[in-house]
Amino acid sequence: MRIAFLTASEGVEQVELTEPWKAARDAGHEPVLVSTKPGEVQAFHHLDKADTFPVDEVVGDVGADSFGGLVLPGGVANPDLLRMDDQAVALVKEFFEQGRPVAAICHAPWTLVEADVVRGRELTSWPSLRTDIRNAGGTWVDEQVKVCSHGSNKLVTSRKPDDLKAFCETALEVFVG
């Protein structure tokens, strides 16, 4: 299965990209780096520049129907930049409209808020997003990993890098389930 990993051109938290990527690849799936610009994505270790990663697809050139699931890695800047990109927001919304599974960690739910897909859902995130999630009609919970089924769509969320093991395992179960 092809799994989209959506990031802005910079600001993604490296471990929140690389650990789910490795888990997907090790499980026999094809991770695809989708970004807002062609070229490379600049990852970060919190606020320090880390590695760069080659972009496979540009957000305006793909649709949700090309993938079995979507992973939204965090980092503070990454989802903030994504939510300012109309095509990225539209792609996220398309995954929900098509009932495809989505997994988001840390600050990534900011993009979900912008796509207006959290209303009526329970999810977790980095704690500073709880008010944004509540204001968007969602219910914020403080759990390592949360799976919310709403209609035909399943959403997997986690709070932080310490939750990555549970996040990766749960996301893969939901994606193939």
Mean pLDDT of 117-139: 98
Least confident range of 18-27, 119-128, 145-154:
145-154
Sequence ranges of the domains in the chain: 2-176
Residue 152 has pLDDT above 80, yes or no: no
pTM of the model as a whole: 0.98
* 153 burial type by CB count under 10 A (0-12 exposed, 13-18 middle, 19+ buried): middle
The topology under which CATH files domain 2-176 is: Rossmann fold (3.40.50)
The DSSP-derived string for the chain is -EEEEEE-SEEEEHHHHHHHHHHHHHTT-EEEEEESSSSEEEEEETTEEEEEEE-SEEGGG--GGG-SEEEE---SHHHHHHTT-HHHHHHHHHHHHTT--EEEETTTHHHHHHTT--TT-EE---GGGHHHHHHTT-EE---SEEEEEETTEEEEEESSGGGHHHHHHHHHHHHH-
Separation between Cα atoms, residue 97 and residue 47, nearest integer Å: 34
Residues forming the active site: 106-107
- The mean pLDDT of the chain is 97
Q: Which residue has the higher pLDDT, 152 or 168?
A: 168
Q: Which pLDDT tens digit goes with each residue over 63-82?
A: 999 999 999 999 999 999 99
Sign, Cα dihedral of 27, 29, 33, 34:
negative
Looking at residue 89, what is its pLDDT? 98
Mean pLDDT of 10-23: 98
Q: Which residues contact 174 (CB under 8 A, 6 or more apart)?
A: 69, 101, 103, 147, 154, 156
Q: Which pLDDT tens digit goes with each residue over 37-59?
A: 999 999 999 999 999 999 999 99
Residue 151 has pLDDT above 90, yes or no: no
